[in-house]
């Protein structure tokens, strides 16, 4: 029996004609070794196949070697589903994943921190390249593999283990001695800075990093997004006398240091994240700081005092060239520039580069700090339209390096309603709706629509750790 990709006109036919009728039997999987439409909490798998029969199917800690398979409509670009596959492989600790739309077949292998493509062919080539596929994910090949032991057990797998008590499991990852600070900054507003800041912090926290999240924007979007603003009336405002402003003013007050101002994010994410909140009063009070040049470097100095308490600091900045942006970028070791890659956003990149090269470089030199490292422009709030991704998006990306001479990050954050829903979650209390925002990773545990966004932020976290050599 051979496979003809022309017979697959929709996703259902890719599943039945390519996977069920052709690939699984050819790779040696009998009906008692594979399952279709498998669910684990928020994860929904198209297929999961095992090296040995698993009857009845019960997910346990000692998972037999397996592969997962995701099938897509023939018109779908597989690139936009790689982030989701990465999320599935890493969350479930499965080594191999096959991704196909009938016209193309790809195999990815999971390593400790990321996944990499190890095989690719067209649907027309699958008949002649079947032996290569067997060598990677055939049932016989899997049976010969030794069980791979991961140094970490993911939060999701922790919930799936039925036969073992791992409550005493501790992360053995080696701590880095040097705290790294990342500013999320763009001169253009509306490019997703807050979304990136809070969810990157959550993703890094879930990877065992001690994270401090700083909101230095008067709009206080990060403060709201992490659940710290729950008051309905001014008299209930518990942030006006303890916020980021007090780190920038004179140090003569005992409480004007990070330990006296930091708050826990509580229900926003598990594990919790330490947050330095912002406040709307920053707008009016900036004039009080401008007269003192020390205001631009006080945040940097106060972060030095807690460098043994945190692995990573993330700073959500204002879309401006003001004192608050200067303070954030002076304190930062790295810069991520979120951008929707549209014309106005790209034009703002020139201002960002000039600001960094002139004012920020001078301030950093004055306090003995090395120049900021631009980690890259991060494509953010990107349309999921397949035609846009196939044509326009590629052109927009090329401009970043060709016209603006800036590095481009490998990760991408798509524009999805789930990212807005998770931040604006509420719960009723009497006649009031109390804000109850969640990180996209925690939101995805109960809302399958958020899986792709969660996977994108997990991929971003892994890329950031790799670039900072902090795996």
Per-residue pLDDT reduced to its tens digit, 292-315 = 778 889 999 999 999 999 999 999
DSSP category for residue 358: I
Q: What is the pLDDT of residue 176?
A: 42
Regarding pTM above 0.75, the answer is no
Mean pLDDT of the chain: 85
Q: Please report whether residue 166 resides in a domain.
A: no
The model's pLDDT over 314-359, given as tens digits with 9 standing for 90+, comes to 999 999 999 999 999 999 999 999 999 998 898 899 999 999 999 9
Beta bridge partners of 336: 184, 376
What tokens does 272 get?
């919790």
pLDDT band at residue 251, thresholds of 50, 70 and 90?
low
Q: Please report whether residue 175 resides in a domain.
A: no
Round to whole Å and give the CA distance between 3 and 122.
11
The CATH number of the domain holding residue 152 is: 3.90.1570.30
**Poorest-confidence range of 5-9, 148-152, 263-267?**
148-152
Residues 49 and 143 both lie in one domain: yes
pLDDT band at residue 386, thresholds of 50, 70 and 90?
confident
Residues 252 and 395 both lie in one domain: yes
Residue whose structure tokens are 């954030």: 328
Q: Are 149 and 62 in contact (CB under 8 A)?
A: no
Residue whose structure tokens are 């422009």: 377
What whole-number percentage of the chain has pLDDT above 90? 53
Residues 146 and 225 both lie in one domain: no
Residues 151 and 189 both lie in one domain: no
What tokens does 315 get?
């700073």
Q: Is 28 exposed, middle or buried (0-12, 13-18, 19+ CB in 10 A)?
A: middle
The CATH number of the domain holding residue 297 is: 3.40.50.300
Residues 22 and 141 both lie in one domain: yes
pLDDT band at residue 441, thresholds of 50, 70 and 90?
very high
What tokens does 462 get?
């892994």
Q: What angle do CA 443, 452, 213 make, to 5 degrees?
A: 55
Residues 28 and 135 both lie in one domain: yes
pLDDT band at residue 291, thresholds of 50, 70 and 90?
confident
Q: Provide the domain count of the chain.
A: 2
Q: What is the pLDDT of residue 448?
A: 85
7 pLDDT more than 60: yes
Residues 202 and 114 both lie in one domain: no
Q: Are 53 and 32 in contact (CB under 8 A)?
A: yes
Radius of gyration of the chain (CA): 24
Mean pLDDT of 432-438: 80
Q: What is the pLDDT of residue 228?
A: 87
Structural element, H or E, at residue 275: strand 274-276
Residues 67 and 214 both lie in one domain: no
Round to whole Å and give the CA distance between 256 and 259.
9
Residues 120 and 209 both lie in one domain: no
Q: What is the pLDDT of residue 62?
A: 44
Q: What is the pLDDT of residue 416?
A: 93
Q: Is 270 exposed, middle or buried (0-12, 13-18, 19+ CB in 10 A)?
A: middle
Residues 145 and 201 both lie in one domain: no
Q: What is the pLDDT of residue 66?
A: 84
Question: How distant, in Å, are the alpha carbons of 344, 406, 462 from that of 410?
Answer: 22, 13, 11
Residues 145 and 245 both lie in one domain: no
Dihedral sign of CA atoms 119, 124, 128, 133 in order: positive
What tokens does 20 get?
């069920």
**Poorest-confidence range of 19-23, 111-115, 340-344, 372-376?**
111-115
Q: What is the pLDDT of residue 144?
A: 79
Q: Are 3 and 127 in contact (CB under 8 A)?
A: yes
146 pLDDT more than 60: no
What whole-number percentage of the chain has pLDDT above 70? 86
Q: Is 40 exposed, middle or buried (0-12, 13-18, 19+ CB in 10 A)?
A: middle
pLDDT band at residue 366, thresholds of 50, 70 and 90?
confident
Q: Please report whether residue 453 resides in a domain.
A: yes
Round to whole Å and give the CA distance between 154 and 37.
22
Mean pLDDT of 50-56: 73
Q: Please report whether residue 10 resides in a domain.
A: yes
Dihedral sign of CA atoms 237, 243, 245, 250 in order: positive
Mean pLDDT of 230-258: 73
276 pLDDT more than 80: yes
- Of the candidates 338, 383, 409, which has an alpha carbon nearest to the alpha carbon of residue 195? 338
Residues 191 and 153 both lie in one domain: no
Beta bridge partners of 432: 429
Ranked by mean pLDDT, which of 87-96, 200-209, 236-245 comes out on top?
Answer: 200-209
**Residue ranges making up the domain that contains 237:** 180-467
Mean pLDDT of 89-115: 89
Which of the listed residues 126, 160, 194 is the one where a domain comes to its end? 160
Round to whole Å and give the CA distance between 13 and 90.
28
Mean pLDDT of 434-455: 89
Mean pLDDT of 38-64: 69
Question: How distant, in Å, are the alpha carbons of 370, 398, 446 from that of 387?
Answer: 42, 17, 30
Q: Are 77 and 27 in contact (CB under 8 A)?
A: no
162 pLDDT more than 60: no
Q: What is the pLDDT of residue 252?
A: 58
């Amino acid at each position: 029996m051979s496979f003809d990709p022309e017979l697959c006109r929709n996703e259902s036919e890719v599943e039945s004609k390519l996977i069920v009728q052709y690939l699984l039997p050819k790779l040696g999987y009998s009906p008692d070794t594979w399952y279709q439409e498998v669910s684990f909490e928020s994860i929904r798998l198209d297929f999961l196949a095992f090296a040995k029969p698993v009857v009845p199917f019960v997910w346990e800690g000692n998972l037999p070697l397996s592969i997962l398979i995701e099938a897509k409509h023939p018109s779908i670009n597989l690139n936009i589903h790689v982030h989701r596959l990465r999320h599935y492989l890493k969350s479930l600790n499965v080594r191999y994943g096959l991704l196909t739309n009938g016209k193309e077949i790809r195999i990815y292998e999971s390593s400790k921190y990321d996944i990499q493509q190890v095989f690719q062919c067209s649907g027309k080539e699958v008949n002649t390249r079947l032996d290569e596929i067997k060598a990677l994910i055939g049932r016989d090949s899997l049976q010969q593999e030794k069980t791979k032991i991961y140094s970490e057990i993911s939060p999701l797998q922790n919930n799936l283990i039925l036969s073992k008590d791992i409550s005493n499991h501790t992360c053995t990852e080696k701590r880095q001695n040097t705290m790294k600070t990342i500013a999320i900054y763009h001169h253009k507003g509306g490019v997703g800075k807050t979304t990136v800041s809070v969810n990157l912090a959550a993703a890094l926290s879930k990877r065992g990093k001690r994270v401090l999240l700083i909101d230095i924007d008067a709009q206080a979007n990060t403060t709201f997004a992490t659940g710290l603003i729950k008051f309905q009336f001014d008299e209930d405002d518990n942030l006006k006398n303890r916020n980021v402003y007090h780190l920038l003013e004179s140090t003569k007050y005992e409480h004007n240091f990070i330990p006296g101002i930091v708050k826990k994010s509580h229900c926003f994410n598990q594990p919790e994240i330490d947050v330095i909140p912002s406040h709307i009063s920053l707008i009016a009070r900036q004039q009080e700081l401008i007269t003192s040049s020390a205001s631009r470097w006080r945040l940097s100095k106060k972060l030095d005092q807690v460098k043994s308490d945190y692995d990573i600091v993330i700073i959500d900045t204002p879309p401006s060239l003001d004192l608050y942006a200067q303070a954030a970028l002076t304190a930062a070791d790295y810069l991520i520039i979120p951008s929707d890659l549209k014309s106005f956003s790209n034009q703002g990149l020139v201002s960002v580069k000039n600001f960094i090269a002139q004012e920020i470089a001078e301030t950093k030199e004055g306090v003995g700090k090395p120049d900021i490292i631009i980690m890259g422009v991060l494509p953010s709030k990107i349309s999921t339209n397949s035609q846009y991704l196939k044509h326009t998006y590629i052109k927009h990306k090329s401009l970043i390096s060709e016209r603006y001479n800036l590095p481009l990050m490998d990760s991408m954050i798509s524009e999805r309603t789930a990212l807005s829903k998770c931040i604006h979650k509420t719960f009723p209390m009497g006649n009031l709706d109390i804000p109850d925002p969640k990180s996209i990773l925690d939101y995805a545990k109960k809302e399958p629509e958020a899986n792709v966004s969660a996977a994108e932020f997990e991929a971003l976290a892994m890329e950031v750790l790799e670039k900072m050599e902090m795996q």
